[in-house]
Amino acid sequence: AMEEDEPELAAGLEAALELAPAVQAAIEQVFPSQDPLDRADFNAVEYINTLFPTEQALEEAQKAIQQLFGKIKDIKDKAEKSEQMVKDITRDIKQLDHAKRHLTTSITTLNHLHMLAGGVDSLEAMTRRRQYGEVANLLQGVVNVLEHFNKYMGIPQIRQLSERVKAAQNELGQQILADFEEAFPSQGTKRPGGPSNVLRDACLVANVLDPRIKQEIIKKFIKQHLSEYLVLFQENQDVAWLDKIDRRYAWIKRQLVDYEEKYGRMFPQEWCMTERIAVEFCHVTRTELSKIMRTRAKEIEVKLLLFAIQRTTNFEGLLAKRFSGCTLGDGTVKKPEVPPPSTNPFLEDEAGTETDEIVIEKSDAEKPKKPKAPDNPFHGIVSKCFEPHLYVYIESQDKNLSELIDRFVADFKAQGPPKPNVDEGGAVLPSCADLFVYYKKCMVQCSQLSTGEPMIALTTIFQKYLREYAWKILSGNLPKTTSSSSGLTITSLLKEKEGSEVAKFTLEELCLICSILSTAEYCLATTQQLEEKLKEKVDASLVERINLTGETDTFSIVISNSIQLLVQDLDAACDPALTAMSKMQWQNVEHVGDQSPYVTSVILHIKQNVPIIRDNLASTRKYFTQFCIKFANSFIPKFINHLFKCKPISMVGAEQLLLDTHSLKMVLLDLPSIGSQVVRKAPASYTRIVVKGMTRAEMILKVVMAPHEPPVVFVDNYIKLLADCSTDTFQKILDMKGLKRSEQSSMLDLFRQRLPAPPSGAESTGSLSLSTPTPEQESSRIRKLEKLIKKRL
């Protein structure tokens, strides 16, 4: 079957390969060709018959192919022979190259050996004659040549030369040390420095020898050079104490000048001998000072300590200007850590403005910062010894700050409260600026002494007196409130005239409260900046221990108490008027007139107090806004409570109350800018409180004015207007309308029936409106919070 399908498959392939005449013509036009294979009618059989017309032609072609294969084989064989010949030639060339290389190496090695042998002989001879100048150059060359023979150390002769070189080096080292010992003896009187030219060349030789030789020379020379210092400033000498510390630094300055003149050229410049002498002097001085201060610790006074530290840090600064610190090894002295970038808005030049007042301005953050001076590598190299005794300084600052607080208290009592200031805003007590100026001076001074534990101890002292300032100077001088006014009658309240004194606090007392509030606000902001500055000064490992949150909370409490006093004062001044409102016979009012006398009285007290408070809090607008909000939150609920006490109320009386309520609402909305020539829009948060509270009062009066017949309409109207599900409030509305108990009972039953279903978990008698805490509750919470913080502190 497969054989039968083959002709059909072949026919199909031929049909698939046939192209249309137009396509074929296009191909021939693009790719013209005379090759028979490219023709469209190409026939393989005819093409083969054309090439090989007979069997003989075919045999001749096969013979030609066999001859061609034979020639190819001959060419391949010749190529293999040529390749072998090339390998033989290159092998000979490589052997010649190896021979040449070995010959060159041998000649070079022999030359090096000759040089090494001659150099060793010369080295031994020069060593005996102390020709250090020639030895310095020759020894380095011999050592370099000897390195070429490291792989030949198995040869006895080479090993012998190496041992001779080492012996010569050892001999040179011992000889040079002996020469220096002779020129600069460790014991006995100091003698002139011998043949300096010989010793100068010896130092050049020491550079090539074992580094221990150089270190020994340096050590012995510096020890001999400072031997006089240890004798002059022994612990039992008078000049050894801190009050004469300048003499130590004057001595080393003279010694360094003397060294430069006599021995400056003897030692190589790269040895940095002048710096090494100064550094060793610092180490010795730190040890000696630590020893003598431990012995005489009871004699250390703060002025003496600060004097010694100042002179020492000045000397360390002088060293930094003169030397690079390249000889300070690891562990010699810890370099000061670079503090993080400052975010403090009042960066100042600490060196030039230590006693300037800390000024808090937003624009300070935009001022360009002064470039930070490079670190002093010698910082603490001597002054580190004073750190264990800085408790004397901390105790002194504790005492000074205690006296400063006592002076602030005495000055306040002697000078009295600050004068009223209604033109430029409330005056900040000058004592707070003095306190923070002193704080800054102490902080800068202590950070120059140490950035470790003493800074933490100073921070603790700062915290202590910040709290004392808050309680003794600020809270301690706030005017005390008295009990509710006595001896006031309704008649006197209603006849109250403009200018009469009803407010509990005088003008001076109001200004004092505002001044204390402004001072507390200044202290709060400056304390936060002080905390940031302390964190910049202290070591990075101690930053987490700097925390003045408790102190800022204390100043926040003073601010809150001050605002509460202002609110209570104005609130108490309005109380008699509200009491008069609740005592009036509203059922007897026959016509609606202008605002009632009690409204005039409330407005009078608002106009008396608020402008004074606003002007004295001009620099702290946010706290004046808090005062307005707290007063509104206190006055409005109290006004509504007194409104419920007005019963019974006639229709005309309700209309008069509604008019009075609207008048009070307008006054409260205008309260932030009342009496001010510059009219400002009240804060939205304050406006929402007033509108919400006084609208509720208006809704209460509108419900009272509504007829209670039919009852269903009245109850639904109440629920719609007040959205209050409390039966107590509804009971008060019925009392204001003057309904009898029997009528009220049926009304209450109907009210309970018409109430909407309470939310899940809520009580049926609950109120949908948010309850506002009374001033008494607010004051009680503040007093409890204050007691808790005092107890914790």
Taking only the tens place, the pLDDT of each residue in 136-157 is 666 666 776 766 666 767 777 7
Tens of pLDDT, residue by residue over 456-482, are 999 999 999 999 999 998 998 888 875
Cα 752 from Cα 739, distance rounded (Å): 18
**One-letter amino acid for residue 22 of the chain:** A
Model confidence at 212, pLDDT cuts 50, 70, 90, reads: confident
- pLDDT for residue 485: 40
Sort 734 into a burial class: Cβ within 10 Å, 0-12 / 13-18 / 19+.
Answer: buried
Output the CA angle 88-91-93, nearest 5 degrees. 115
- Residues in contact with 531: Cβ distance below 8 Å, sequence separation at least 6, in sequence order: 546, 547, 548
Helices vs strands, H then E, count in the chain: 26, 0
* 490-517 residue pLDDT tens: 334 444 443 344 447 888 888 889 999 9
Closest by CA position to 246, among listed 314, 299, 311: 311
Query: Tokens 């905390």 appear where?
Result: 531
Q: What pLDDT was estimated at residue 123?
A: 66
Per 3-state DSSP, the chain is made up of helix, strand and coil in percentages (nearest 5) of: 70, 0, 30
Predicted confidence band of residue 363 (pLDDT cuts 50, 70, 90):
very low
The Cα–Cα gap between 382 and 281 comes to 9
Q: What is the pLDDT of residue 666?
A: 92
Closest alpha carbon to 269 in 200, 194, 368? 200
The pLDDT of residue 366 is: 38
What is the predicted pLDDT for the residue at 201?
A: 75
Give the dihedral sign, CA 316/317/318/321: positive
Q: How confident is the model at residue 768 (pLDDT cuts 50, 70, 90)?
A: very low
339 burial via Cβ count (<10 Å: 0-12, 13-18, 19+): middle
Range with the lowest mean pLDDT among 66-75, 196-205, 376-385, 735-744?
Answer: 196-205
Sequence-distant (≥ 6) Cβ neighbours of residue 196 within 8 angstroms: 263, 265, 266
List, in sequence order, the alpha helices (H) in 584-676: 597-616, 621-644, 651-669
Say what the pLDDT of residue 367 is.
Answer: 38
Residues whose CB is less than 8 angstroms from the CB of residue 506 and which lie 6 or more positions away in sequence, other chains included: none
Joined tokens for residue 23:
């396509």
Q: Which tokens go with 516?
A: 């204390």
* pLDDT on residue 470: 92
**Following CA atoms 121, 126, 127, 128 in sequence, which dihedral angle do they give, to the nearest 10 degrees?**
100
287 Cβ neighbours under 8 A, 6+ residues apart: 385
Backbone phi, psi, residue 472, to 5°: -80, -45
Q: Alpha-carbon dihedral of residues 698, 700, 705, 707, nearest 10 degrees?
A: 140
Any idea which residue has 């309700």 for tokens?
Answer: 654
DSSP string, 3-43: HHHHHHHHHHHHHHHPPPHHHHHHHHHHS----GGGSTT--
Tokens of 498: 């403009």
Distance CA 197, CA 216 (A): 19
Virtual torsion, Cα 510, 512, 517, 522, nearest 10 deg: 150
What confidence tier does 297 reach under pLDDT thresholds 50, 70, 90?
A: confident
Q: Which of the four pLDDT bands, split at 50, 70 and 90, describes residue 341?
A: very low
- Per-residue pLDDT tens digits for 583-607: 998 888 888 888 889 999 999 999 9
Residues 630-645 pLDDT 10s: 999 999 999 999 998 9
Q: List, in order, residues 6 or more apart from 706 with CB less than 8 Å away.
A: 714, 717
Find where tokens 């620099």 sit: 619
**Per mean pLDDT, which range of 129-143, 170-184, 407-421 is the poorest?**
129-143
pLDDT at 33: 77
CB 456 within 8 A of CB 538: yes
Angstrom distance (rounded) from CA 101 to CA 96:
9
Asked if the model's pLDDT at residue 271 lies above 50, the reply is: yes
Q: Tell me, what DSSP letter sits at residue 447?
A: H
Q: Shortest CA distance to 218 belongs to which of 275, 161, 261?
A: 275
370, two tokens? 């002064």
Rounded Cα distance between 602 and 476, Å, is: 30
Average model confidence (pLDDT) across the chain = 77
Q: Give the tokens for residue 771.
A: 């309850």
User: Residue 9 above 70 pLDDT?
Assistant: no
DSSP state of 417: S
For helices 727-737 and 621-644, the axis angle rounded to 10 degrees is: 60
Pick the range with the lowest mean pLDDT from 118-132, 379-393, 596-610, 657-671. Answer: 118-132
CA–CA separation, 293 vs 286, rounded Å? Answer: 10
Burial level of 736, CB count in 10 A (0-12/13-18/19+)? buried
Q: What is the C-alpha to C-alpha distance for residues 605 and 570, in angstroms, rounded to an integer?
A: 7
For the chain, the maximum distance between any two Cα atoms, rounded to a whole number of angstroms, is 158
Instruction: Say whether pLDDT at 776 is over 60.
Output: no
pLDDT at 694 over 80: yes
What would the DSSP string read from start to end of 534-581? HHHHS-GGGGGG---HHHHHHHHHHHHHHHHHHHHHHHHHHHHHHHHH
| pLDDT value, residue 504 | 72
Q: Taking residues 185-206, report their average pLDDT.
A: 64
- C-alpha neighbours within 13 Å on the C-beta side of residue 516: 31
Token pair recorded at residue 454: 């003493």
How is residue 295 written in tokens? 């012995």
End-to-end CA gap in the chain: 111
Tokens representing residue 326 in the block: 């390249």
Please tell me the predicted confidence (pLDDT) of residue 407.
Answer: 92
pLDDT at 178: 78
Residue with structure tokens 């400033």?
233
The proportion of the chain whose per-residue pLDDT surpasses 90, expressed as a percent, equals 17
> 119: pLDDT confidence band, cut at 50, 70 and 90?
low
pLDDT band at residue 117 using 50, 70 and 90 as cut-offs: low
Q: Tokens in use for 485?
A: 């006014």
> For residue range 651-676, what is the model confidence (pLDDT) as tens digits?
888 899 999 999 999 999 998 888 88
**Picking from 98-102, 249-253, 544-548, which range would have the lowest pLDDT averaged per residue?**
98-102
**Structure tokens of 689?**
């409180």
